[in-house]
Chain A
């Protein structure tokens, strides 16, 4: 008996493999079982600033967390209106970043790039309007920053990189003074 795989099957196999490849790549972000969003959701409710315990062996909320960065996050939910994030930036190394549940970082601001130490960030969905003094006047727009979120649920993550192990306590204290909650006008 001749053992010969007909060319037809090879072509068919390659086309099929290509289709399976494309479907797998596109489906994976939705099927990823332990996404960062799901991991953080176990730490507490939405629209509240929560400190992530410092990474240590056997105790890490997310894999490959920086051991020399302290983190606080707010899982925002815009279903009942915009969410306001207020923080006093204690160090120019600080970074504030907004994420979709799939981990896309759609907004970020670095402490060193800000004019003032106090950041007042309003996260709003595309169909939510924020009426606030300063929002319509670009010259004073550093008072309140309105960020249009492409998603109604997401994550705001504050990173406080440490300049040395002795800075950890100070960074943790500064992170505890940040806040996140439902937006009320000029609150």
Chain B
């Protein structure tokens, strides 16, 4: 047995040093727990423990699995069990407090950040000059810019993980508020921040491709690289990162795309950004670096912390680099384009498409105004249904022919044609600006079959009109509405009633961009307890000083 264990350990070590992992599909459980430190540093394991503590403060659920006992850092459960035993054995006054409370307060375990202060050092005055000097020493004066005119905040552009950590350490010591940024598409996402930011931490100087192994369809890249630059580089190997996030006019960085986690038209088939991420390195508050996930496509070693950071909008840490799963470039892409004045007829046609054995990579329905933005001569009036196929010449030709017949059979009026050179259509759709200062942009997510009902409700809410700028992912139930903000009270009440409607369908409505007043009265996310309080616990565990983008998610108790 000892020989088998020794040999097994050596094999696991070999795999880890080859960039692999110790378990692909069986899990860690009891059997592999002792080997987790082969992959994860103590800091990374601590981060898992913190997440565990957020979900399970007393360590009741399936104790003794996955995460090995760390040196000098027992798990919460140890304390919890002691408390329980004591309570069970002798009913002393010592355990009068509720069980969970007592066990936690007895803990001297660094893992538990139970009484996280929300504003740790606000009393300390922020002195811009002193902050500038310190930041300039770290990243060089040319990489510290004033964020706005009042000089109370700086855009800081570090060039390395080391510099990021130094900035974060400084921020911790000085009690500064940090907002991670990439291409700055989503800088105002979420609720208005609770504290004015001191540092906009921009990743754009960190844009190297760290590793790309074409045979493995895997690449590791620094977070500040833009999707456009990265894809044009790996395209040489006939591969691509299959993302088309909204609002990307070429500046969106990979870190930003993952952190905001929003998929575009082709996420229908290729998946949202998080689905492409195999692993990442993240700098946490105070400058601790952790690794989440791995570098191989199949990996079930430990909690997948990537899932937390993807979509966290810079509230938990700053993503330093990312390992992505790549795809081979399809040799052929082409689009079937159907036009009709009647969006419901197009929706009906797309329903038949989805039940046919076809595999389109995107099915998008565009409003007339949205069509106009695409600047395509073929799209003149009415709504448009764009159905994109990708694959070999034969397969694309075959599928498009079948798709065209299906749509023709369904559509009484309008036209159906095939667009072979379709790249510009989809690029323009992705690049559509998500609003400016006067913009009001919201997205909803419902079951695809409920899009018709949603459109009807919107038509209703806007006085019978449905002609402004919107687009819908017919395959996956994504919907985005882009308009100019009008009267605050009217907008806010309309959004609230639409959100009620969408939630009634089991979906969600998120306000992406809006004047502050609207966000304040409606709430950007529409989070409800107990999800919100669970998120708050996670945030408190990973960012106890509430340094990163404070208040961007309004958790239930934030009031």
A binds B: no
Residues of A within 8 A of B (CB): none
